[in-house]
Structure 1
Amino acid sequence: MERLAYLTVLILLLFSLLLSACGGNHRENTDDGEVQLTMSAWGNPAEIKVYQKALDAFMADNPEIKVELVPIPNDGYQDKIMTQLSGGKAPDIFYVGSEWISKIVETGKVVDLSDFLSSDESYVKPDEFAEGLWGAAKINNQIYGLAVDCNPFVLYYNKKVLEEAGVKSPQEYYDEGKWNWDTFAEVTAQIKESGKKGFILDGWSGPLFTWIWTNGGEMYDEDGHIILSENEEAQEAFKYISDMLQQGNFTYSGSLPQGQGGDAMFMSNQVGFVGAGRWYTPMFSENKALEFDYIPYPTNTGEQQGTVSIATAYMVVNKDSKHLDAAMKFASFYTSPEGQKARLEGNGNAVPSVLGADEIITEAEFPEHAGYLLDARNKGRVDDKQSVVPGMDKEIMDIIDLMYLGEQSAEQTIQAVTKKATEMIDEYRNQ
């Protein structure tokens, strides 16, 4: 009897320890008392200051929730987030690029926000976001990421560099209806002859799609199949880029010395044009010696405003957060009209992704032609074909990188891209 009693006590003790261990792995989601959240994003120092404005506004409205911004350098950001997710150490809320959101969703580590967005706790509703910005963040009406804002592509031009090269203002060409690819080739050639760089081409899909779409071309059809080898306008864009690089009118950012980028060269008056969204504006505006303005990308279709790529990042919520309710509440605030106004007013780093907040741009005092950002947003779009297949964007851009470096012709690149995309799309759909 004593042995039986001893065994019974031992079993109960082991059972109790087992329950305790299970309880230790159970995710806490009680937001009683002060809650500590972490948020990660990439960005230059000026952009980080912009992000912080929204955190401060949220914490002023929700003093029981503290949010710490933990910046991660852009170079290596994706790899670091993926490593943190797999190790259970990712931030509660973090930025995800539109080109790899599908890869993050596939991990199963981020929250479907659909139900929360419909609740009274949410600061923003799905129908407040501009159409065309969801990309791969919305799958079968399940919302895994919220567009924090958006960045339609425009060209920044350095007034001093153009003036020294004897180039008249791009605005004059635009007003004359002559702001097209031929003009851009002539202008960048003049700048090159003056000893400066004409245009810095960045090596990711946003700039590539902008050149394709401003020529009326398409790389993919409506069903997501690649049509590059059949679409003459898209092929022309590849050849134009290749020719401009070979002639020295364009300079590929990937060929620049380490640590030297288009933004730094622009601020030191070494290049005439860089292509980007509004994210350079805060940094450029801080340089009082720099004179710059926006101009739409030149088109080759006869239209003044072409379809450009819209860069966006999505805010996602880590499914393993100990404070899911607070994390989702913060994500909804950050992307709401209130949160975006807190970040983007003045010389903010982006354009609102929600409707009804255009005054952020129209009332901006600098630069002069800020309205071109809204024109670009209204006609632009987020890629939702290349980015939807996990890993395909990187594979395709790695191939195109060879053309940018002068190691492969446009024709060879078109063939290689078509082959790789076809393989990856077929594999993805046959899973």
Structure 2
Amino acid sequence: MRQWNKAVRKAILAAMALLLAAGCSSSSSSGGSTEGERVQLTMQAWGNPAELKVYQKALDAFTKENPQIHVKLVPVPGDQYEQKLLTSLQGNRGPDVFYSSEPTMARLIEAGQVQPLSEFLQSEESYVQADEFPEGLWGPARKDGEIYGLPPDVNPFVIYYNKKVFQEAGVKSPQHYYDEGRWNWEAFREVTGQLKAAGKQGYIMENWWAHWYSWVWSNGGRIFDEQGKLVLNENEPAKEAFGFMHDLVQDGNAVYSGSLPKGQGADAMFMSGQVGMLAAGRWLEPLFTQNKSIEFDYIAFPSNTGKKEPVAVPGAYFAVNSKNPHVKEAMKFVSFYVSRQGQEIRLADGGNALAAIPAADEAILSKSTIEHTSYLSEARDDGYTHGSNMAYDAQIPGLNPDITEIIDLMLLGKQDAKTTVARVTETIAAALK
């Protein structure tokens, strides 16, 4: 009887131990989890369907090298992205790793929601080191010497043009004007006006920092000087650029994306042959390349200065949620994703950006099938040289959205360019104080 009781007690204790072990292994946050010896991470990112396939290449390659870590891609539409990310991080339900835009990065650092990365980048566990990136790329991702986000790639701004739309409308291509040395604002007005007369939209005007900075910079203008001083209100080329954007939309040579019916985006209009040109980085290339019904190419932004001018070089940051339970594994994945190896895996075949690490250039650019991909690399290099790949206002939490709202009124025709420049200047000046 005593032996039976002893056996029962052993069985009960063994069962309790199993239950306790099961409870420990299943406890996790809503982000990463542990399945036995395997760590499960979540990665949140924006992007069209073609871009998501590009991201997945790196996830698969990382898991192949690190089978004990699995990363699940969680896509979120771009127009909902920032709000969903901020809400989830505030509620401790955020993803383990995630893409962040430049303006959002400053807010996340201020709120203590992103993991410092500098120490890890110096360790043997990291696939990349900080000095592999050009100095001008850090922007708001580095504060007081500490790195909080890593550039996965960069996307210098160019103008896409639909060759078929130009041919069917009987309009000379932008490349024709460029070869003649006449690709300036007058030529831009000319071709957009001719496309309009042929029943097409000439250009899609969008409203976020990379667009307005590209028009300002490509005209030789500045919103801030090299020291970060606000100079917009006294810089004539910059004020001319605001007037040019305003007039393009009000004269009907361009249509403002903010006035389009819900669900009608710039990329869809381009692919359906409704519009001749739009501005973007390389992220639209995979989507357009898969659509065999269109023929497109790149052209640089038109300039009135007679020389090459910088344009925006948008670049997201890849960051780690400081509150996720598997920070070490998350940092290891992030370092792989942005490393030379990770960039080559993602960007060489049908990639959606250019390399943020110059050493990866050859493998990526040599496989591009678009005729004038060189305009992308030239725009990126000019951006690095002039230090213009980052807008100073993006480093001030909350300022960039305020500027966007002011420019929205101008593009909707509710405010003229002069008033817009004055209000943007006042808003930035107040934020700087």
Task: Give the match's secondary structure for 1:401.
Answer: helix
Residue 15 of structure 1 corresponds to: none
Question: Is the CA contact 1:159–1:291 (under 8 Å) kept in the aligned structure 2?
Answer: yes
Question: Is the CA contact 1:218–1:233 (under 8 Å) kept in the aligned structure 2?
Answer: yes
% identity of equivalent residues: 51
CA RMSD, aligned part only?
1.9
Q: TM-score, normalised by structure 1?
A: 0.90
Residue 399 of structure 1 corresponds to: 406
Match of 1:301 among 297, 305, 309: 305
Task: Give the match's secondary structure for 2:223.
Answer: coil
Q: Does 1:286 align with 2:293?
A: no
Match of 1:425 among 403, 410, 432: 432
Match of 1:55 among 48, 56, 59: 59
| Alpha-carbon distance in structure 1 between the residues aligned to 2:79 and 2:197 | 33
Match of 1:328 among 331, 336, 350: 331
Aligned length: 403
Q: What is the CA-CA distance between 1:383 and the residue it aligns to?
A: 2.1
Q: Does 1:357 align with 2:364?
A: no
Q: What is the CA-CA distance between 1:302 and the residue it aligns to?
A: 0.5
Q: How does 1:163-178 map to 2 (within 5 A)?
A: 163-178=167-182
Which stretch shifts more, 73-82 or 49-58? 73-82
Residue 9 of structure 2 corresponds to: none
Q: What is the CA-CA distance between 1:81 and the residue it aligns to?
A: 0.8
Runs (4+) off by over 4 Å: 27-32
Task: Give the match's secondary structure for 2:75.
Answer: coil
Q: Does 1:220 align with 2:224?
A: yes
Q: Does 1:382 align with 2:394?
A: no
| Alpha-carbon distance in structure 2 between the residues aligned to 1:171 and 1:131 | 33
Question: Is the CA contact 2:204–2:255 (under 8 Å) kept in the aligned structure 1?
Answer: yes
Q: Does 1:231 align with 2:231?
A: no
Residue 130 of structure 1 corresponds to: 134
Q: Does 1:348 align with 2:355?
A: no
Residue 86 of structure 1 corresponds to: 90
| Alpha-carbon distance in structure 2 between the residues aligned to 1:254 and 1:73 | 17
Match of 1:310 among 309, 313, 326: 313
Task: Give the match's secondary structure for 1:70.
Answer: strand
Residue 4 of structure 1 corresponds to: none
Task: Give the match's secondary structure for 1:346.
Answer: coil
| Alpha-carbon distance in structure 1 between the residues aligned to 2:158 and 2:364 | 14
1:185 maps to amino acid: R
Residue 189 of structure 1 corresponds to: 193
Match of 1:69 among 45, 57, 73: 73
Q: Does 1:155 align with 2:159?
A: yes
| Alpha-carbon distance in structure 2 between the residues aligned to 1:131 and 1:280 | 27
Which stretch shifts more, 265-274 or 350-359? 350-359
| Alpha-carbon distance in structure 2 between the residues aligned to 1:99 and 1:188 | 32
Gaps spanning 5+ residues in structure 1: where?
Answer: 1-19, 427-431
Q: How does 1:101-116 map to 2 (within 5 A)?
A: 101-116=105-120
1:413 maps to amino acid: T
1:403 maps to amino acid: M
1:282 maps to amino acid: P
| Alpha-carbon distance in structure 1 between the residues aligned to 2:66 and 2:28 | 28
**CA distances 1:307-349 after superposition (whole Å, capped 9, x unpaired):** 0101111000011111111000000000001111111112111
Q: What is the CA-CA distance between 1:371 and the residue it aligns to?
A: 1.6
Q: What is the CA-CA distance between 1:32 and the residue it aligns to?
A: 8.6
1:232 maps to amino acid: E
Question: Is the CA contact 2:249–2:256 (under 8 Å) kept in the aligned structure 1?
Answer: yes
